[in-house]
Copies of this chain bind each other. A is one copy, B any other.
Amino acid sequence: MTLKELSELLGLSPTTVSRALNGYPEVSEATRKRVTAAAREYGYAPNTRARSLATGRAMAIGHVIPISAKHEMVNPVFADFIAGAGEVYSRNGYDMLLSVVPDEDEVDAYRGFATKGNVDGIILHAPTLNDPRIELLNTLGLPFVVHGRSSDTDGPYAWVDVNNTRAFQRATDFLLDLGHRRIALVNGLEHMDFAIRRRAGYEGALAARGIAPDPALMFAGEMTETHGHDITRALLAGPTPPSAILVSSMITAIGVRRGMEEMGLRMGRDISLITHDDELSYFRNGADIPVYTSTRSSVRDAGRKAAGMLIDIIERRDTPREILLEADLTLGQSTGPAVTV
């Protein structure tokens, strides 16, 4: 069913039908009613490709997911972010275009979005320190919003981020208040901007109490369960194990906990743990009482906010271009006063 067919059926011109459907004022209320009723009856919906060719708007937002041959890994945070963003897209009539590419082709993927004109905007994921993709997107001239920030990148760009520095500084402070002095940090890969900031928060809190950060207590790696487990085993088997561990992801924290328990330590009593919790929908941190004490910020909500901002930019609405979300510090059962081992 095309617009032309529908209009012939109604005895109207395509123009009028189009205007009726798109809410233009030049068409009488009676005609509009008649048209929309017919459209519903015959199941007519304008062809997206034709429409966007005519309007110049793709009505779609692009996301690029790089797949690395080295660490074959899809960020678990991604699924929840997508869900949040996707909600907002559908509500506003946008589609979401996902491009899964080998990471060496990532730049081409962005270029492709721009030249092939199949999206109106882009969300940039997982920015690194001084991320070159930001400049690329700026030169491509396609609206975009970054989920996270990129330190050392100058020039303005739109972003939605959690206050990672503050969150980890508060978490560290809290552990220090409980009497912990040897606090380990199990961080994400430290070319990632969020990891850099978390580390800065951690080190800042230590420094404020005159404690020099111990490199032997600081780790960076992929945020998998296994990684958390292995590091914890190694740490606890060492000569001077920490009394508390600060972890960058719930998933890693699960592994850390497993390591602790395998070493015969009871989490929350013998050793403390604070994790960052992205509030992944399928990985709730306990029911009523959280299992883990955590710095908490909903990644799904970040997705919604980023999507909303991007649509605002595309549609030239005047709204803030920077959103900094504060993480809550939520008390769970995984922390307690430092015990002298």
Contacts and interface: CB of A to CB of B under 8 A. Distances in A.
Interface of A: 1, 43-50, 52-53, 58, 60, 65, 67, 72-76, 78-80, 82-83, 85-87, 89-90, 95-101, 105, 109, 111-112, 115-118, 222-226, 230, 251, 254, 257-258, 261, 280-284, 286-287, 291
A53 B96 CA distance: 19
A99 B85 CA distance: 10
A4 to B, nearest CB: 14
A72 B84 CA distance: 11
Contact of A43 (B98, B111, B117, B257): B111
Nearest to A79: B79
- Copy tally for this chain in the complex stands at 2
Contacts of A49: 49, 52-53, 58, 117-118
Most B C-beta atoms less than 10 A away, residue of A254, A257, A286: A254
Contacts of A117: 47-49
Contact of A83 (B58, B67, B226, B280): B67
Contacts of A76: 76, 79, 280, 282-283
Given A43-B111, A60-B97, A73-B281, 8 more contacts: A48-B116, A82-B98, A90-B105, A96-B99, A97-B98, A224-B282, A251-B282, A257-B258
Contacts of A65: 83, 86
Given A90-B100, A97-B95, A117-B49, A284 B226 contact: yes
Most B C-beta atoms less than 10 A away, residue of A43, A90, A100, A116: A100
Given A79-B76, A86-B99, A118 B48 contact: yes
A235 B251 CA distance: 25
Contacts of A261: 261
Which 8 pairs of residues, A with B, have the shortest CB-CB distance? A86-B100, A79-B79, A45-B115, A48-B118, A96-B98, A74-B83, A48-B116, A49-B53
Most B C-beta atoms less than 10 A away, residue of A52, A75, A99, A118: A118
Contacts of A280: 76
Nearest to A85: B100
B53 A115 contact: no
A126 to B, nearest CB: 13
A230 B87 contact: no
A223 B282 contact: yes
Contact of A226 (B80, B95, B223, B286): B286
Contacts of A75: 282
A83 B79 CA distance: 11
